């Protein structure tokens, strides 16, 4: 089955590059292109694509506002939004997640990863870049309310060793394809494991799954390396010749 894609980006050269890349595959095709958020919403409603690849900074209406419109439209319940942007700030990532997007990637992503991300969100899964994963963790660790996952470390122990491996990979921000490559299994197998883990832990989506892995201490946020401070001591005077 071919995944139908709408590209929304105000940079014509990038749009053309993405279109060539997508149309060169057997299972993906571009059905429309948009240069701003308003046009993206109109074209999505008329073409009903499987995935909208959306930039953030665009004229007339930005990509995050357009994404919120698309995800809230009941006629587009089967359409997923993948944000592809140069600006991976925590604020943009948090707003994108609140808008209901299915993925958030930086434009520095490799072509194969970009294509894999489109397939992943089309299949109903979530894709997060490492900065987006960090923002998810920060957001949910500080959150309170019914949307916050409540799994405990004891519930984590109920996961099988393979499920624990998959969860740790997801906590790193790896896609299903990347997890499959690391663990030498098929992407479909990884997807089954992820769904099983979410069911066991009571998570409603992948972002929650990643967050609770850190909140329970199952996964740990990497600490940045400490800057090297040279040892201090009495200075040896320079001696001339």
On whether both 6 and 95 belong to a single domain, the answer is yes
Tell me if 131 is assigned to some domain: no
Tell me if 33 is assigned to some domain: yes
On whether both 2 and 98 belong to a single domain, the answer is yes
Note the pLDDT tens digit of each residue in 79-114.
999 999 887 677 788 788 888 888 888 888 889 889
Note the pLDDT tens digit of each residue in 170-184.
888 787 888 999 999
pTM: predicted TM-score of the whole model, two decimal places:
0.68
On whether both 179 and 61 belong to a single domain, the answer is no
Note the pLDDT tens digit of each residue in 179-224.
999 999 998 899 899 989 988 888 877 777 877 787 777 877 554 4
Residue 32 is predicted with a pLDDT of: 97
Using the predicted structure, report yes or no on whether residue 130 has a pLDDT greater than 80. Answer: no
Going by pLDDT thresholds of 50, 70 and 90, the confidence category of residue 123 is confident
Residue 205 sits in a domain whose CATH number is 1.10.10.10
Span 26-38, mean pLDDT? 96
Tell me if 232 is assigned to some domain: no
What whole-number distance in Å separates Cα of residue 208 and Cα of residue 23?
A: 33
Poorest-pLDDT segment among 86-95, 154-163, 165-174: 86-95
* Cα radius of gyration (the chain): 21
Tell me if 214 is assigned to some domain: yes
For 59, the token pair is: 């004229």
On whether both 171 and 215 belong to a single domain, the answer is yes
Which of 73-82, 123-132, 212-221 has the largest mean confidence?
A: 73-82
Mean pLDDT across the chain: 82
On whether both 150 and 96 belong to a single domain, the answer is no
Residue 97 is predicted with a pLDDT of: 80
Residue span of the structural domain in which 152 resides: 142-221
The fraction of the chain above a pLDDT of 70, given in percent, is 81
Using the predicted structure, report yes or no on whether residue 46 has a pLDDT greater than 50. Answer: yes
């Amino acid at each position: 089955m071919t995944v139908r894609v709408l590209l929304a980006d105000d940079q014509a050269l990038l749009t053309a590059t993405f279109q060539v890349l997508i149309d060169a595959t057997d299972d993906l095709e571009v059905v429309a292109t948009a240069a701003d958020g308003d046009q993206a919403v109109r074209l999505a409603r008329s073409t009903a694509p499987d995935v909208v690849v959306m930039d953030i900074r665009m004229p007339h209406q930005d990509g995050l506002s357009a994404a919120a419109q698309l995800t809230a439209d009941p006629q587009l319940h089967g359409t997923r939004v993948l944000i592809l942007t140069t600006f991976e700030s925590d604020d943009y990532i948090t707003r994108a997640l609140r808008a209901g997007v299915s993925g958030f990637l930086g434009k520095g992503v490799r072509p194969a990863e970009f294509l894999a991300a489109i397939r992943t969100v089309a299949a109903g899964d979530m894709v997060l870049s490492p900065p987006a994963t960090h923002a998810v963790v920060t957001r949910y660790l500080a959150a309170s309310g019914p949307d916050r996952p409540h799994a405990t470390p004891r519930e984590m122990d109920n996961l099988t060793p393979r499920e624990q491996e998959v969860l740790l990979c997801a906590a790193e921000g790896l896609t299903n394809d990347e997890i499959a490559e690391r663990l030498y299994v098929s992407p479909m197998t990884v997807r089954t494991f992820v769904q099983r883990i979410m069911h066991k832990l009571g998570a409603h989506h992948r972002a929650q799954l990643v967050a609770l892995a850190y909140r329970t201490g199952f996964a740990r946020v990497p600490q940045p390396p400490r800057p090297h401070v040279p040892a201090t001591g009495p200075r040896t005077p320079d001696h001339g010749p």
